[in-house]
């Protein structure tokens, strides 16, 4: 009898252990599926951020609009993102994960449908705004979910997949756009994406878990207004630098920048006050973490390089080298593929060795690639253009995963949603800065040379050269900063998963 009791207890313990292992495997499988759905959804929504760049000439012809109006299809997208993203920290705390996902993908799918059937420019512009609202929510949602579900020792690998989404999607947007426009109408850019968005929405409704418990967080409307004025004004003003006639000398450019700067300053001051009561719209205590703050600096510089190059290379290849949209898109494809292929390996390397051994060479490679681009001229061989873009993509692949992972992992779990919103906001602002700086420098130099009697071709090539010189100089800042990026101390296990 005495032997039977221990044996029975051991058997019960073994059954409990087996049941626990099975439950862990089930939750692990569910979490992997949820993250996969989020990754695919986020890739699709971010793809639309740059897919319009190559389509501008066709849109101008089909819709009967000027280039300045067509550019608003991208500017309005960026502007909406900048306004909505700071609010996502509140949304992720106030509502369940599944509810936020459904709202984001519903908005994106609705915007995509409206764009596909838009009868004119005004409706298409509204569609882009609706799309951007969904996109703005998806990026912080993905970051927060991964930080909550994935153990720290495995985050590098998963963040590598996020890097594919964040960096490759905008990089291959022009390629996909060029391929579609070569054989189909511009509406097909949205028609092809729509079923993917709807399928992701349906899968998310069924499979996305709630990774945190919603809590009654008050929404400070003053912060919302200041956020819209601040971030919206900055992005609008920066976008206008390269688009407004007269460039930096035009008061129409500086007015929104001034309002944006004032609004941004007041927004920061109000958050510092509200965060003392834990009710800030965007909690800035994330910056108390040195790794997070240093990573943000590096992310800003990287995004300036990425978006500045994405906007400038198609202009260079089409206006200077005389390539068509399809060839331009295909030329950018190798870099995007290289970045995507490298990201998972970079993530695994980060998990083993930390960020420093990745970000130091990465920052050097990015800067070197931009300096190579300063040598582009009217007779540059295409292989050199492709090679420089691939080189830039390799450098960025070495940067994004360790920066996202080490930066966000260094903050407290209670601040994950705010950290994710901050990273996403910085990405949009830096992207706007990159586009503004590159286009403004190019335009100013080009106009000066044309006024002096130079040919348009030579003036454009010289303007692009000046823009790349400016970008290359900015990239030098990242090299010394990269030595300060370290793997943060452990923050503990992921937050328990809700229902």
Output the furthest CA–CA distance in the chain (Å, rounded). 106
The secondary element (H helix, E strand) that includes residue 144 is helix 121-149
CB 109 within 8 A of CB 161: no
> Three-state DSSP class for 420?
helix
Asked if the model's pLDDT at residue 256 lies above 90, the reply is: no
Mean model confidence pLDDT for the chain:
81
Taking 3-state DSSP, the helix, strand and coil percentages for the chain, each rounded to the nearest 5, stand at 85, 0, 15
Asked if the model's pLDDT at residue 496 lies above 80, the reply is: no
pLDDT-above-90 percentage for the chain: 16
Distance CA 280, CA 220 (A): 8
Distance CA 63, CA 73 (A): 12
CA atoms within 13 A on the CB side of 255: 4
Least Cα distance to 157 among 397, 408, 343 occurs for 343
DSSP structure class, residue 378: T
pLDDT tens profile 22-62:
444 444 677 778 888 888 888 888 877 777 766 777 787 88
Which pLDDT belongs to residue 262? Answer: 93
Angle at 397 between CA 392 and CA 400, to 5 degrees: 115
Q: Lowest mean pLDDT: which of 20-34, 94-108, 263-277, 437-451?
A: 20-34
CB 292 within 8 A of CB 300: no
> How close are the terminal C-alpha atoms of the chain, in Å?
43
CB 229 within 8 A of CB 260: yes
Q: How confident is the model at residue 495 (pLDDT cuts 50, 70, 90)?
A: very low
Least Cα distance to 400 among 88, 86, 168 occurs for 168
- How big is the chain by its Cα radius of gyration, in Å? 24
Distance CA 463, CA 477 (A): 23
pLDDT tens profile 386-429:
999 999 989 988 988 888 888 888 888 888 888 888 888 888 78
Asked if the model's pLDDT at residue 13 lies above 60, the reply is: no
Distance CA 177, CA 324 (A): 12
Distance CA 344, CA 39 (A): 13
Q: How confident is the model at residue 102 (pLDDT cuts 50, 70, 90)?
A: very high
Q: What is the pTM of this model?
A: 0.76
Other CB atoms within 10 A of residue 353 CB: 13
For the chain, list the domains and their CATH numbers. Answer: 21-208+218-482 (1.20.1250.20)
CB 33 within 8 A of CB 48: no
DSSP structure class, residue 388: H
**Higher-confidence position of 157 and 245:** 157
Distance CA 293, CA 299 (A): 10
Q: Lowest mean pLDDT: which of 3-12, 70-79, 299-308, 477-486?
A: 3-12
Distance CA 418, CA 283 (A): 6
> Three-state DSSP class for 73?
helix
* DSSP letter for each residue of 197-222: HHHHHHHHHHH----S----PPP-HH
pLDDT tens profile 123-145:
999 999 999 899 888 888 888 88
Chain Cα centroid distance, residue 135: 10
Least Cα distance to 86 among 299, 302, 280, 293 occurs for 280
484: Cβ–Cβ under 8 A, 6 or more apart, which residues?
Answer: 290, 294
CA distance readout (Å), 27 to 21, 150, 310, 330, 488: 10, 11, 40, 41, 27
Asked if the model's pLDDT at residue 252 lies above 80, the reply is: no
Which pLDDT belongs to residue 185? Answer: 84
Which pLDDT belongs to residue 21? Answer: 47
Distance CA 286, CA 425 (A): 13
Crossing angle between the packed helical segments 121-149 and 97-117, to the nearest 10 degrees:
160
* Dihedral angle, C-alpha 296, 302, 306, 312, nearest 10 °: 110
Chain Cα centroid distance, residue 437: 18
Q: How confident is the model at residue 489 (pLDDT cuts 50, 70, 90)?
A: low
Which pLDDT belongs to residue 362? Answer: 93
The stretch 239-266 carries a mean pLDDT of: 72
The stretch 345-359 carries a mean pLDDT of: 88
Give burial (CB, 10 Å; 0-12/13-18/19+) of 450.
Answer: middle
The stretch 240-245 carries a mean pLDDT of: 57
DSSP structure class, residue 377: -
């Amino acid at each position: 009898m005495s032997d039977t009791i221990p044996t029975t207890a051991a058997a019960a313990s073994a059954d409990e252990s087996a049941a626990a292992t099975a439950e862990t495997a089930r939750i692990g499988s569910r979490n992997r599926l949820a993250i996969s759905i989020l990754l695919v959804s986020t890739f699709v929504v971010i793809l639309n951020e740059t897919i319009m760049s190559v389509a501008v000439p066709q849109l101008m012809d089909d819709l009967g609009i000027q280039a300045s109006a067509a550019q608003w299809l991208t500017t309005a997208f960026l502007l909406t993102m900048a306004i909505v993203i700071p609010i996502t920290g509140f949304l992720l705390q106030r509502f369940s994960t599944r509810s936020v996902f459904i709202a984001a993908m519903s908005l994106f799918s609705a915007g995509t449908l409206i764009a596909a059937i838009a009868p004119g420019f005004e409706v298409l512009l509204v569609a882009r705004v609706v799309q951007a609202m969904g996109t703005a929510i998806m990026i912080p949602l993905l970051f927060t979910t991964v930080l909550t579900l994935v153990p720290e020792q495995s985050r590098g690998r998963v963040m590598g997949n996020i890097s594919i989404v964040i960096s490759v999607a905008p990089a291959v947007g022009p390629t996909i756009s060029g391929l579609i426009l070569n054989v189909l109408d511009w509406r097909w850019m949205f028609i092809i994406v729509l079923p993917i968005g709807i399928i992701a929405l349906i899968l998310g409704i069924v499979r996305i878990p709630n990774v945190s418990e919603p809590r009654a967080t008050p929404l400070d409307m003053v912060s919302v207004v200041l956020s819209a004025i601040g971030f919206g004004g900055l992005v609008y003003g920066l976008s206008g630098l390269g688009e407004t006639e007269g460039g930096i000398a035009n008061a129409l450019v500086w007015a929104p920048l001034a309002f944006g700067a004032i609004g941004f300053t007041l927004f920061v001051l109000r958050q510092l006050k509200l965060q003392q009561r834990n009710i800030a719209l965007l909690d800035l205590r994330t910056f108390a973490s040195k790794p997070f703050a240093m990573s943000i600096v590096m992310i800003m510089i990287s995004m300036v390089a990425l978006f500045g190059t994405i906007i400038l290379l198609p202009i260079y290849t089409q206006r200077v080298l005389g390539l068509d949209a399809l060839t331009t898109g295909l030329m950018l494809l190798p870099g995007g593929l290289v970045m995507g292929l490298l990201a998972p390996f970079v993530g695994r390397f980060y998990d083993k060795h930390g960020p420093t051994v990745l970000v130091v060479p990465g920052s050097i490679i990015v800067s070197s690639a931009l300096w190579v681009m300063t040598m582009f001229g009217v007779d540059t061989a295409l292989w050199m253009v492709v090679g420089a873009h691939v080189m830039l993509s390799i450098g960025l692949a070495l940067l994004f995963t360790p920066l996202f992972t080490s930066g966000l992992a260094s903050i407290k779990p209670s601040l994950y949603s705010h950290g994710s919103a901050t990273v996403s906001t910085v990405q949009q602002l830096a992207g706007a800065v990159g586009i503004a700086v590159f286009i403004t420098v190019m335009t100013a130099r080009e106009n000066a040379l044309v006024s002096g009697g130079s040919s348009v071709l030579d003036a454009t090539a010289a303007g692009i050269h000046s823009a790349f010189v400016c970008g290359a100089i900015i990239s030098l800042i990242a090299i010394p900063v990269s030595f300060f990026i370290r793997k943060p101390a452990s923050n503990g296990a992921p937050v328990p998963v809700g229902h």
